[in-house]
Each structure stands twice: as C-alpha cells, then as structure tokens.
Amino acid sequence: MSTPDVKTTPTSGRVNMKPVFDAWRRKSVRRVALALLIIFTIIVVFNILAVSSPEVHVAPLPDNTHVKLFLRRSHEYCNDIWDTKGVSGKEGYLPFEGNKQYELLQVHMIARHGDRSPVYDTFLSKGFQLSCGLPKQENHWASLSNFVVKRLSGSGITPQEDIDLFPGFSEHSCQPGELTHRGYKQHFQLGQFLRKQYNGRLINKAIKRDSDWTKNVFIHSTYYPRTLASAASFLLGFLPNKTSIRKSVPINYSQGTNLYSPPRGVTLTYRWCTRLREITKTDSQNPEVQAGKMFYSDVMQTLGDIYKKSPSKLPEPTVIVDNFLVRMCHKEKLPCYKHQCVRLALAYRLLEYADWTIEHKYTTTSSILMMQQFMYNSILKKMFEVTDKLALGQNDYDKFLFYFAHDSTVTPLMTLLGIPPKKWIPYASRLVIELWRETSPSQADATGYGPYYVRILFNGLGYTQKLPLPENSFVLVKDLVKLRAFKNFLTTGKFREKNSYDRECGIITTSTQLV
C-alpha cells in the first residue's frame, strides 16, 4: 500500500503530517457512511417484514411515567386509604379561632357509593368475577337488615318494587354494580369518622336522647342496591349501636340517580325534565367533545387492535376504564385477549380519556340543569328553614342530612357550585356543606347577609375558597362564605337563574318560588 509523501520543512526540519491526517479523515467518513447505510437497510427490511407478517410484533417501549401515573390515579380512585391510615378530614372544625366565633348549625353530605363490581358486562369482563358478601366473623354487618327503607313522596316515577336492596350477607358472586365488602367498609369507617368529628359540636349538643336521632337525622338515597347499602353501612358507623335507633331512622329513597325528591318538610316536588335527554344529546354533539374523540382516537385504535374490534364498536371510555379500575382495586390483572394484554401505559391513556370525557360531560347545560332541583329545593330550602326557625326561637330542624348517590350526581353538583373536580371522583367521595352562625354578629350583619355562613369540603379538604365569588363574600381566611352570597350565586347567571330549569325543560311556569 502506497503512503502519501511526507515532506519536511527546510527551515525547521519538522515532518509535515497534514497529508496523513487528511487521508485518515477521508477513510473515517467513508466508514461512518457505510455503517449508517447498513443500519438504515436493516431497519427498512425489518419494517417490511413486520408489515407483511402478522406474527412479527414490535414491543412498545416501556412508558414508566404513564405507568406510575396510572398506579397513583387508580390508588386514589380506589380510596385505599380506608384500608391503611383511615379516614381524615377537617369537617366540623374551623381554622384558627373560628371555632370560638362561630357555631355549627347543620350538615349536608352528598356521597358517592363505595367500592363495587363493574356496572357493565362487556367483553372486558370475560373470565373476571368478584366475590361479594360479608365475612361471617363480622357479625355486626347483620345489623344492616335492621334498617327500614321508605319511598319519598313526590319522586315522580314509580320504582320497581322487586329490586333486591340487600342481596345477602353470605359470600356470593357479585351482581353488576353490587357493593363489595370494601365498599361496605369504606362507608362504615366514614360514618365512624363523621360521628367523631361532629361529636360535642352538633351531636350531644342537639341530640341528647335516643328519640332525637330520628328527629335530627335525615337519609336520602337513590334506588340502587349499592347506594342503599352504602347508606346503611354509613349509619352503622354514625348511629349509636342500638337496634331501636337504627330501626327508627329510615333510609328514604327516590327513583333515578339525581335524588329527584325533596326531603321531609319541603312540600315543593321535583318536576321531571322531559327534554333532558334531548338537551344531553345536543351537549354530546359539541365540537369540543368531537375534537376530544379525535385526539384520543389512537388509544381506542390500540385497544381495538388488541381485541380485533373496530374502535366504533368499543364501549365508552368510562365503561372501559371502569373495568380496569375495579381490577386494580381488587389487585387483579388487567384484561387480556389471546396473547395480548392491556398494558399499564395504555390503561393510563384510556383513563386520561375517561377523565376528559367526565369533565366535559358534567360541565354542560344538562349537567347544571339536572342538579338545580336538588340544590335549590333540598339544600338551600333546608338551610333557610334553619334561619327562619332560629329567628322564631325554634330549634326543631334537621341537623344532619346525608345523601347517597353516584359520581354522576356528585360531579355535576360540584359543577353547579363552580368547583368541578375535572376527573373521575373516587369511591365513597363526599361533598360536605356545613351551615354556621356567627355567635356575636358584627356590623356585617347590617348588610342584609345575616350572621349565617356556608362552608364546603370535598373529601375532607376545604373547598370554600375555590368558589368563584368576590373577595367580600368570604370571612375567616375564605373558609366561610356568606349564606346570602352563596344563594345569590346559585340562582343567577346563565342556566342558574330561577326560571332556567322550567324554560330549558319546556315546563309551564307556576307561581312556585324558590328560596
């Protein structure tokens, strides 16, 4: 092999190496180019084989971030904290010196049912079965049968009387949407916790005899086994361990998921919105909703590829993810089809889609309208009943009003309040609305708002400060909002004004007035 001429510099006698380096550089560039060409050729051939042969699959790269997010979100949704640290929250106690300046008058709690089996039986449920029922050693669960269920008048729809409210206490295979043992335990512990929080404030202060429980505690549930059983389990923890008391506090129920019936003492009946289905359909055709479907079309396609189904034939994302989350709550594997399984990273992307769907579903006209009747004619009516009676020196009003429903009840209610959760709320989630009174009314009382205030908590955390209201509507580091300001907000503005329900639903307006 010839070598380039090596010349020396006459004046210095040093060897000139530049020609050597230039030659080496040219050879290196050629080698790198050849290597890149070989790699590119291999990739092209591999892709051709992968497309032409269904037996060749490219394993997706692990997405550790999505896996961690899915595990964290599913843990939150399942409400596993009930099995470890127990229930915690700030119910019944104001910050700083507020407990000395204000007294608690009334408590409203709207809770989602506890852990349950999948509501929908789909191809994802094949081979998956949960065990329901209660362990024999937990004898106190038999006390659930002591509770009496009672239909509220004015619910508007005749319920099916053959529904099995308490499917049984012995072990059996879960029916669709049935409360599991974890679900019973979640609400039992919640009942125990709230009894501790309100003991010495509203309990013992207003309830001094066994008969006072019946007068001061009102329970309202939707007509589903999982909500009725959640209510009974909650009462086991909240009420004293006396059969006579449990039998004297009935679980009132109404048809539907929206608590369509007023509580005792409220004569205004709920009017069914005949156009609600039509309004809901219009909401679903919103361009923003359609854009979301396009954005998440890739994950639906991936799931369809696993199950050999067209994405258009797949259930709604909430139905799909419900199956995934139930499995995670009970430490079961995600579903598989033949030799392909749903990966955690894909499950998270589908959960994102479900959260997005829920957020946009419950921020619509229909979601606000369907909770108006409950907010106006249950919660606000009962709060102003308190102020009216106290003005007359009377104290005979409901101190505790507990409602048991669904995520499709709690989420739109929070949207109506201006504090939408923006994601799927956990099992046994609770929205608590407390009514307080200033013990020594200040000059603020002269403004016409009165010495009454509202406090809102979600899963034990203060949410009052999140209300979209002016600064002067709040007191005590925004932990309390003036009752009149709260009411004015809920009855003004688009789709919130008093006649909006009748107008949008096509109901002939009557002379009936809201509070």
Q: How far apart are CA 32 and CA 38, in angstroms?
A: 10
61: left (phi over 0), alpha (psi -120 to 50) or beta: beta
- Pull the structure tokens for residue 151: 């239909």
Residue appearing with tokens 């081979």: 127
- The DSSP symbol for 251 reads E
Instruction: Please write the tens of the pLDDT for every residue from 39-85.
Output: 666 655 444 444 333 333 334 445 688 899 999 999 999 997 545 56
Mean pLDDT of 106-132: 93
For residue 204, the tally of other CB atoms under 10 A from its CB is 10
Going by C-alpha positions, the residue among 358, 371, 362 that lies closest to residue 325 is 358
Entry pTM: 0.83
- Pull the structure tokens for residue 500: 């909006």
- Pull the structure tokens for residue 266: 């409220």
- Pull the structure tokens for residue 124: 């994802």
**Residue 156 and residue 271 in contact, taking contact as beta carbons nearer than 8 Å:** yes
Torsion, Cα of 42, 44, 46, 47 (10° steps): 160
User: What is the DSSP track for 75-124?
Assistant: HHHHTGGGGTT-----TT--STTHHHHEEEEEEEEEEE---B--SS--GG
Contact partners, residue 14, CB within 8 Å, separation at least 6: 8
> Which run of H or of E encompasses 457?
strand 452-458
226 CB-contact burial (10 Å; exposed 0-12 / middle 13-18 / buried 19+): buried
* Residue 163 pLDDT grade (very low, low, confident, very high; cuts 50, 70, 90): low
Instruction: Please write the tens of the pLDDT for every residue from 249-275.
Output: 999 988 777 787 888 888 766 677 778
pLDDT of residue 264: 87
Q: How far apart are CA 115 and CA 506, in angstroms?
A: 38
* Residue 32 pLDDT grade (very low, low, confident, very high; cuts 50, 70, 90): low
* Residue 350 pLDDT grade (very low, low, confident, very high; cuts 50, 70, 90): very high
Q: How far apart are CA 266 and CA 263, in angstroms?
A: 6
Q: What angle do CA 243, 247, 250 make, to 5 degrees?
A: 145
Q: How far apart are CA 430 and CA 428, in angstroms?
A: 6
| Mean residue pLDDT across the chain | 82
Instruction: Please write the tens of the pLDDT for every residue from 365-374.
Output: 777 887 888 8
Going by C-alpha positions, the residue among 274, 125, 103, 296 that lies closest to residue 201 is 103
pLDDT of residue 270: 66
Q: How far apart are CA 398 and CA 218, in angstroms?
A: 7
Instruction: Please write the tens of the pLDDT for every residue from 359-404.
Output: 888 877 777 887 888 898 899 999 999 999 999 999 999 999 999 9
User: What is the DSSP track for 464-485?
Assistant: GGGS---GGGEETTTTEEEHHH
